[in-house]
């Protein structure tokens, strides 16, 4: 099964300031921004920013992986003893879930949403 690194998600304490840094100082092209998410056009793997939370402290990073069959991959991970998060939920046309990586670090795992 192909696993793609689609996002690197940074948890930031001040989203507007972080957007300004990556856009104005570093020179990345901002794809879009909402109050809860910002995404930069950085090729095949996007840089995304989200406000920090108790579960995702400022200064931490989270990989965002995409697979063609989310249910199958989650079953495979569970069979290998990986701690899975809640059941997937649909977001922006994809099914999104989490699992725990080394040291409990969250990893985002997504796959296509079922066609209506």
pLDDT tens digits for 3-60?
999 999 999 999 999 999 999 999 999 999 999 999 999 999 999 999 999 988 999 9
Domain range for 66 is 4-112
Closest CA to 107 of 95, 98, 115, 116: 98
CATH classification at residue 47:
3.10.180.10
114 or 98, greater pLDDT: 98
State mean pLDDT over 67-87: 95
- Give the model's confidence band at 116: pLDDT under 50 very low, under 70 low, under 90 confident, else very high: low
pTM exceeds 0.75 for this model: yes
Order of all β-strands in the sheet with 29-34: 29-34, 37-41, 46-51, 4-12, 61-66, 106-112, 94-100, 89-91
Into how many domains does the chain fold? 1
């Amino acid at each position: 099964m192909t696993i793609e690194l689609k996002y690197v998600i940074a948890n930031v304490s001040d989203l507007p300031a972080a957007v300004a840094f990556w856009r104005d100082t570093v020179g990345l092209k901002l794809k879009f921004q909402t109050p809860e998410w910002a995404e930069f056009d950085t090729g095949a793997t996007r840089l995304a920013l989200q406000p920090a939370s108790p579960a995702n402290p400022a200064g931490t990073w989270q990989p965002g992986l995409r697979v063609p069959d989310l249910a199958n991959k989650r079953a495979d991970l569970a069979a290998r003893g990986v701690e899975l998060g809640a059941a997937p939920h649909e977001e922006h046309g994809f099914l999104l879930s989490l699992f725990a990586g080394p040291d409990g670090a969250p990893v985002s795992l997504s796959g296509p949403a079922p066609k209506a």
